Structure 1
Amino acid sequence: MKKQNRQMRLRFIVISTAILLSFSGLAQDSEVAIDKIIAKVDDYIILKSELERSYLDFLSRGEARGSNAKCNILQQLVVNKMLMAQSEIDSIFVDDSEVNLSLDRRMSVMAQQFGGESEIERAYGKSITQIRAEIFDNIKEQLTIQRMQSELTSGMKVTPSEVKKFFKNIPQDSLPYFSTEVSVAQIVKEPKPGKSQKDKVRNLMLDIRERLERGESFAALAKQYSQDPGSAARGGELGFYSRGELAPEYEAASLSMSPGEISMPVETQFGYHVIQLLEKRGNTYKTKHILISPQPNQEDYKRAENYIDSIRTLITLDSITFQSAAKEHSDDQQTSSAGGYFQDETGALRIPAEQLDPNIFFTIDTMKIGNITKPLRFQKEDGSYAFRIIYYNNKIAPHQANLNDDYQKIAAASLAQKRNLKISNWFDKARGNVFIEVDPEYDYCNLTN
């Protein structure tokens, strides 16, 4: 029985905890609104609502029902709380500024999906401030767990022989079947605002600063003008940051002021800021700011288009490779380091065709392999526009997994299993050193044995 339980744990303990710590905590569904403590791990608790939400998420992905599934999900929740407890022992902490950055990114994605912050508030019946407050602790826990997992599995690798052994042990009828995959790369050029646009914003910031000096409310002006979605809702407040965490120009201006003082416009990579220093505490400081980013005009757009077209010309003349040009010139951070290529979750330089952005999918559908498009204008996730050229490198027909075509994917799965085993072994040893109490309703899961 213990061997079966251990095998079960190995199959289900998952390194990524995003599915367990998500926006589902905001759900209003009465089916999961059960506030009963079902497990305690030292000072941490697990509510039945957490388990039920995670189980519903599990089912929504088409997984099979069953008591074993709930046990495995509950165990993952217990492991997460144990990792949190261990992080305190090992002094592994996540700074609030890092949490806020992650929270800002998630709220930005939500705003894109819902069509604006007001639509998010309407959907959840709560203010953005309330939603951020509810999500904050979940994100902090998630980031802490990820950091602890990285500590426990740091430096782990798999050898080619381990990959082959892993693949050999997969039953033939269990080998995954991959749909059509494509190898596609891009070079992106974002139009940068020129001097005229920058001067326009700087003059507006000078006017805002003058209004602040005359006594107008910083919070009111931040909510009206600031383009930092995270802090604008809080009246411009950023909280405490340590040296080196914010843009150097922002930090230098903040630390040169006295509490209460308001800066002249400060330019960073994000735009222009008017900053008010609130408090200094040791090596940390607290500020609030108003941010306005200059927007490119038609001239700036034309300059970006001409620039990326000149890069395309150099590539077609064999003066530079597409990969080198992408690493050196592309403004898209997600693809530039891989030579412009879109990657799957394992890092392989090809992805299922259906996962491509629809615009790119329909573009390559009209291309021949080896071709490069002319500059194409497109809309980014944040709503701004940029130009890109697309290189259609290869197309891989649907096939069953094999070592020749899918080594990188198989190696990633092999490494994940090795890491899971490490976490499982750690759980078996560590659970004897912490207080774990599980509701008798879940005794059949054998989590405390």
Structure 2
Amino acid sequence: MKLFLKNTLLTILAVMGFVNVQAQESTKKRIDGIVGIVGNYVVLDSDIDNTFIQAKATGYDTSKFSRCELLGTLLENKLFSHQAIQDSIVVTDDEINGMMDSQIDRMVEQAGSIDNVVKYYNKKNYEEFRGYFFDIMKENQLASRMQEKLTSDVKITPEEIRQFYNNIPKDSLPMIGDQIELSEIVMKPVITKEERQAVIDKLNEIRQDILDGSSFASKVYVYTEDKGSLQTGGFYSIDKKTEFVKEFKDVAFSLKEGEISKPFETEYGFHIIQLEKIVGKNLELRHILMSAKPSQESLDKAKKDLDDLRIRILNKEISFADAARQYSQQKETKQSGGIITDRQTGDTRFELNRMEDRIMYSMVSNLKVGEISATTQVPDGNNIQYKIIQVTNKIPEHAADFSNDYMQIRSVALRTKQNEAVAKWIANTIKDTYIQINDEYQNCSFKSDWLKNQ
């Protein structure tokens, strides 16, 4: 429960400042003041208020949070940001500006206009308002990068996982909800050479515009289909260990500073890359992703082919597994007979009520073991594909078992070890960092030694 609470507070902090404007308007404002200082960063009384508001807006029970707990988490966030600066962790202005554009769009939707947002936050104009939130976003990104740095090298062994499990009292073992195992067959529409060449030609046109003086980032905002980097103007910082596809890294590491690649293809579509800077072993780059789009005729054929195959399976002319091996166009699951695994854990079991893929949930939630979903259109990156899913097994709710629920136990054990590493780092870093806590919070029972005998 404590772990869940901490993760909840950190999630709230990740969007701190971009709170539900309408919710704030109905909340009585407190007189603002500095309640804590960490290095060069301050925590305001209003920061705590805003975190409460955001928790309510996202559906959390705020009765579980005390002001002391929220202050402690805010202080941690400031410590991460402060140390990120000391460790020369870089967050570029372009990254922050891209993130801000998306967040401000959401705020305008809530408030009705940008003028309403600026007025509510008591800023003189849009420029002052944007500067205010730029600082908030940059601080949060620095904190996030620092936490990633602290946990990236934390590993856990099978023996540590076993000890973690054995140390849980048997009457306190977590319950695992109803689980399900699944297999899939995927059909993708054919994309013609002409459709592919049209994308290559467009990327070459964009590349030439940039060579003639246009901003790469501005082209990203107009053309890229990579939603993960849209907010940062296509920016990535990678090294040779970064988990990008081989074709992307091969091109990136062949470029010189300032050079723009010619269009090239990966499984995600066609790209161009601009290498901005080489920093040690890291490449700081921007990219644009565009994919060729299939015709309606091709879409219709893919759906019909999968409908026909589904009928053959139902008529027992071919097994689902054999059909997947012969016809599925999803390379990750094809050779295993269509068996779907969790990409992060490698587990074949999915807890039904925690499925993040809502399309998949709607396809399988009412199926019995052995039944097959209807042919369903699903996203394929920036394109469309068709899928059928078979439920191969169902496991009722049960107390966590080491053998059967190893991957879930491993995930919790690793997260616990990561949290312990961060807690140890916080304890050591506090000793060498200037900390000041307002008198109002001197009686708080903080998890970390923020008071330092003040």
TM-score where L is the length of structure 1: 0.65
Distance 1:381 1:271 in 2: 11
Partner letter of residue 439 of structure 2? Answer: P
Output the aligned Cα RMSD: 5.5
Identity across the alignment (%): 18
Q: 2:291 maps to which residue? A: 293
CA distance in 1, matches of 2:75, 2:400: 34
Q: Look up the equivalent residue of 1:148 and give its one-letter code.
A: L
User: Counterpart of 1:144 in structure 2: which amino acid?
Assistant: M
Structure 2 residue 47 is matched with structure 1 residue 45: no
Residue matched to 1:3: none
Q: 5+ residue gaps in structure 1?
A: 1-7, 112-116
Give the match for residue 141 of structure 1.
143
The question of whether the paired residues in 2 share the 8 Å contact of 1:156 and 1:419 is answered with no
Q: Which residue of the partner structure matches residue 391 of structure 2? A: 392
| Equivalent AA in structure 2 for residue 201 of structure 1 | V
Structure 2 counterpart of 1:448? 451
Q: Confirm whether residue 93 of structure 1 aligns to residue 89 of structure 2.
A: yes
* Cα deviation code 1:263-305 (max 9, x no counterpart): 8x62333555678x79777889988877643212245436755
> Per the alignment, do residues 442 and 404 of structure 1 end up closer, same or farther by CA in structure 2, a change over 3 Å counting?
same
> Equivalent residue of 1:166, what SS?
coil
Residue 72 of structure 1 pairs with residue 69 of structure 2: yes
SS of 2:292's partner is coil
Partners of 1:282 and 1:179 lie apart in 2 by 46
Match of 1:5 in 2: none
Q: How far, CA to CA, are the matches of 2:324 and 2:205 in structure 1?
A: 45
**Aligned-pair CA distance for 1:212:** 8.0
| Partners of 1:231 and 1:413 in 2: CA distance | 26
Deviation readout 1:290-348 (Å, 9 max, x if unpaired): 7643212245436755887899889985696799899x953679xx9x94135898967
Aligned positions of 1:18-167 closer than 5 A: 18-27=10-19, 28=21, 29=24, 31=27, 36-58=33-55, 61-63=59-61, 65=63, 69-87=66-84, 91=87, 93=89, 96=92, 100=95, 121-123=108-110, 125-126=113-114, 133=134, 135-151=137-153, 153-155=154-156, 158-167=160-169
Cα distance change, pair 331–305 in 1 and its aligned pair in 2 (3 A): farther
State how far apart, in whole Å, the 2-side matches of 1:242 and 1:405 are. 36
**Counterpart mapping for 1:278-317 below 5 A:** 292-298=290-296, 300-301=298-299, 317=318
Aligned residue in 2 for 1:183: 181
SS in 2 for 1:341: coil
Counterpart of 1:21, as a letter, is L
Residue 47 of structure 1 deviates from its aligned partner by 3.0
One-letter code of the match for 2:68? C
State the shift of 1:56 in Å. 3.7
Cα displacement (A) at 1:442: 0.9
Q: 1:443–1:324: structure 2 CA closer, same or farther, 3 Å change rule?
A: farther
Amino acid at match of 1:164: N
Q: Which amino acid aligns with 1:165?
A: N
- Give the letter for the 1:46 counterpart: V
Give the TM-score normalised by the residue count of structure 2: 0.65
Deviations 1:328-374 (A, max 9, x none): 953679xx9x9413589896722134646554444335543034446
Structure 1 residues 387 and 135: alpha-carbon distance in aligned structure 2, compared to 1, 3 A threshold: farther
Kindly tell me the number of residue pairs found equivalent between the two proteins. 412
In the TM superposition, residue 437 of structure 1 has moved relative to its aligned partner by 0.9
Alpha-carbon distance between aligned partners in 2 of 1:273 and 1:418, rounded to the nearest angstrom: 38
Take 1:319 and 1:346, find their aligned partners in 2: how far apart are those partners? 21
Q: How many angstroms apart in 2 are the aligned matches of 1:360 and 1:417?
A: 30
Structure 2 segments unaligned to the other structure (5+ residues): 115-125
* 1:5-53 superposed Cα distances (whole Å, 9 cap, x missing partner): xxx9x76773676414323422232547975332122223323333223
Report the Cα offset of residue 211 of structure 1. 7.6
Equivalence map 1:175-324=2 (5 Å): 179-191=177-189, 193-204=191-202, 222=219, 226-228=223-225, 247=248, 251=252, 255=256, 266-269=263-266, 271=269, 292-298=290-296, 300-301=298-299, 317=318
Residue 82 to residue 274, structure 1, CA distance change in 2 (3 Å): closer
Structure 2 residue identity aligned to 1:370: G
Secondary structure in structure 1 of the residue aligned to 2:35: strand
Secondary structure of 2:451's partner?
coil
**Equivalent pair of 2:182/2:339 in contact (CA under 8 Å):** no
In the alignment, residue 352 of structure 1 is paired with which amino acid? Answer: L
Cα distance in 1 for residues equivalent to 2:417 and 2:4: 13
Q: Which residue of 2 aligns with 1:4?
A: none
Residue 14 (1) aligns with residue 6 (2): yes
**Range that drifts further, 142-151 or 359-368:** 359-368
Indicate conservation of the 8 Å contact 2:68/2:444, yes or no: yes
Q: Deviations over 1:400-427 (max 9, x none)?
A: 6666765654554455445444444444
Q: Which amino acid aligns with 1:266?
A: P
Deviation at 1:154, TM superposition (A): 3.9
Contact 1:379 1:385 in 2 (8 A): yes
1:346–1:409 Cα contact (<8 Å) kept: no
Q: Do 1:237 and 1:287's aligned partners in 2 also have CA atoms closer than 8 Å? A: no
Contact between 1:21 and 1:142, CA under 8 Å: does it hold in 2? Answer: no
Deviation of 1:206 after TM superposition, in Å, equals: 5.8
Secondary structure (helix, strand or coil) at the match of 1:295 reads coil
CA 1:441–1:418 in structure 2 vs 1: closer, same or farther (change >3 Å)? same
Q: Taking structure 1 as reference, are residues 184 and 120 closer, same or farther at Cα in structure 2, changes over 3 Å only?
A: farther
The aligned counterpart of 1:114 is none
Looking at structure 1, the residues matched to 148 and 235 of structure 2 have their Cα atoms a distance apart, in angstroms, of 24
Distance 1:271 1:231 in 2: 14
The AA in structure 2 aligned to 1:349 is R
Q: How many Å apart are 1:384 and its aligned residue?
A: 3.6
Which digits, 9 at most, give the CA deviation of each residue in 1:111-151, with x for residues without a partner? 9xxxxx96765446459x95995645423421322321345
